[in-house]
Amino acid sequence: MSPNPYQAPVPRDPYGAPAAPVNRTPVILAAVGAGLASLYWAGLTLLIGLAAASGAGSTFQVILPCVLIGLYALRGFQLVKGDPLAAKRLLWLHGMGGAMAVLQIANGGAFLVVLQSIKLVIHVFGAVTAHFAQRALNGSR
């Protein structure tokens, strides 16, 4: 316990030594992966919105990408703040997004394959970095 009441308590191991500092590099990289996924969905939402404005699509198709933009941005922000559960949730988001990208690549046209391939690369990067961020925040070596 810290003798200063205005300072945050310092975590200690069972023997009283201070805990090892958290390596922030995987956390920052995972937040970058979440930001890239959020930017990808923002660009895709713009394309869907333009298609809906021209009459080629429905405006309801914009709802899910807007939710995903918010989820990725929120999880990235929570991760930077040090929430280990955000890393786990971000790992699930990237895993599901990567699986959906593979399914859509399997039955899509050339333009869709390019978009989904970009999405797949972002999700693989995000999932790997979220895994390492989760390990760093939980103290695993």
**Side-chain-facing half-sphere of 119: CA atoms under 13 Å:** 27
The count of other CB atoms within 10 Å of the CB of residue 119 is 22
Count of domains for the chain: 1
For residue 8, the model assigns a pLDDT of 63
The C-alpha atoms of residue 95 and residue 117 are separated, in whole angstroms, by 14
| Residue 78 belongs to a domain | yes
Domain residues for 77?
A: 25-138
| Residue 134, in any domain of the structure | yes
Would you give the DSSP letter of residue 82? Answer: T
Residue 3 confidence (pLDDT)? 65
What tokens appear for 14 in the block?
């069972």
pLDDT digits (tens, 9 = 90+) for 79-107: 999 888 999 999 999 999 999 888 888 88
Confidence at residue 78, expressed as pLDDT on a 0 to 100 scale: 93
pTM for the whole structure: 0.76
Q: What integer pLDDT is reported at residue 11 of this predicted model?
A: 59
Q: What are phi and psi of 122, to 5 degrees?
A: -60, -45
Asked, for residue 60, whether it belongs to a domain, the answer is: yes
Within a domain: residue 89? yes
Name the stretches of the chain with pLDDT < 50: none
